[in-house]
Structure 1
Amino acid sequence: MPGYVIGNFFVYSMINAFTPGPGNILALNTVTNYGWKKGFPLFFGIFSGYYVVQMICAVFVYGVSTFLPDVLGVMKYVGAAYILWLAVHIAVSRPDEEDGERSASFWKGFMLQFVNVKIYLFGITALTGYVTNFSTSLSVLIFFELVIATIGTVATSAWIGMGLVIQKIYLRHYRLINIILAVTLLECVYSILK
């Protein structure tokens, strides 16, 4: 796999993982309401769920590539369209005030990931947009999904560890930050389609 493809894979993964999503917002709200110690079960649930969902994505993409190989070509364009939608959505989005969670349990964090459409699309798009052109081996797909889940875990940890700081900076400069992230995602769309 060429270096520029790996670089674009990481750019896409970092942007997708660090932008606000259900897991990051829930983690941010939980740490501000309960602190690290009381929130840890929920955080561990979010992290665990992330890895399980990404393994499901790897098996899904492997199954499609094995049994319906022509679908991957179409999925590449679907993935590019999703990244384009995400870029537009990020560029025009505004920060929302979220209600604090009343319970910080492992299962709440774990189950959130199974209904978190963002991470399904994230995992499938990253594989079909960057990896499957070079390999459809299950072990390679699982490896890249583990990388994605690890980046996601680091991103959620950053929202936890610096929650209040990130929130204050983001609230003050969200328009500029969102436009920079959106333009960077447009480059990722270009790299998938060329």
Structure 2
Amino acid sequence: MNIASVIIYCFIVTFTPGPTNIVILSTVHNFGVKKALEYTYGATIAFGALLIISAMLNTALITVIPKILIVMQTIGSIYMLYLAYQIYKMDSSDSNGTKDGTFMSGFTMQFLNPKVVLFTMTVFPNFILPYYTSMSVLTISALVITIIGFLAFITWVLFGAIFKSFLQKHEKMVNVIMTLFLVYAAIMIWM
């Protein structure tokens, strides 16, 4: 297992702008850090729950249909390349805010967020299940990835509070760097 690839993939997908991160940023500016943190806690719990569900579903698929791995690797790689393209062409100036920053809105958003759902359904078959299937390793992996997600959300809260104008000024350069890292992670699935 290439741990560097899985860590890079997790960091890039969770730290790059997406619906949850943009809502967190907007919540900080509209309602303050305290509301953004409340939203973040809900998003983190849902993210962990989605990872656990994904680990169980993917383990069942791998056990029942071993040939599905190549399909999941292909889907995961294509999705990562799609994300790289989306990040490259991204313009965060058209993001919308949320009317509230509650725990429940953060929790619910994760189940409706295609970026999160696709990420949780691809990280296990692409990076972990080809090498490990024991429940303890899957549980530890889900916990570690959830912590990475939480760190990403907290980072967006801090970015919203401190670095918003700087990031907007250098948005294209940041997007290009994140795109290149995501393309690297997609390529590493096949090695």
User: What is the CA deviation profile of residues 32-81 of structure 1, one whole-angstrom value per residue up to 9, with x for unaligned ones?
Assistant: 11112344432221121111111111111111112122112211111111
Structure 1 outlier segments of 4+, above 4 Å: none
Residue 57 of structure 1 contacts residue 123 of structure 1 at CA under 8 Å; is this kept in 2?
yes
Would you say 1:133 and 2:130 are equivalent positions? yes
Counterpart in the other structure of 1:110: 107
2:123 and 2:35 mapped to 1: Cα distance?
34
| Aligned-residue offset at 1:178 | 0.9
Which of 138, 143, 148 does residue 146 from structure 1 map onto? 143
Task: Give the aligned partner of residue 63 of structure 1.
Answer: 60
What is the aligned partner in structure 2 of residue 91 from structure 1? 88
Partner of 2:174: 177
Q: Tell me if the contact between 1:62 and 1:141 (Cα under 8 Å) persists in the aligned partners.
A: no
1:80 aligned residue? 77
Aligned residue identity for 1:174: E
Structure 1 residues without counterparts, runs of 5 or longer: none
> Does residue 21 of structure 2 align to residue 29 of structure 1?
no
Q: CA RMSD in A?
A: 1.6
- On the 8 A contact 2:59/2:129 being kept in 1, the answer is no
Provide the aligned length of Structure 1 versus Structure 2.
Answer: 191
Conserved? CA contact 1:123–1:145, under 8 Å:
no
SS of the equivalent of 2:133 reads coil
Q: Deviations over 1:66-105 (max 9, x none)?
A: 2122112211111111111111111122223333322222
Provide the rounded CA distance (Å) in 2 between the counterparts of 1:166 and 1:21.
17
Instruction: Measure, in 1, the Cα distance between the counterparts of 2:122 and 2:163.
Output: 27
Percent of pairs with identical residues: 32
The Cα of 1:114 is off from its aligned counterpart by 0.8
CA distance in 1, matches of 2:15, 2:38: 21
Q: Does structure 1 conserve the Cα–Cα contact (< 8 Å) formed by 2:37 and 2:157?
A: no
Amino acid at match of 2:148: I
TM-score calculated relative to the size of structure 1 = 0.91
Give the deviation of 1:174 after TM superposition: 1.2
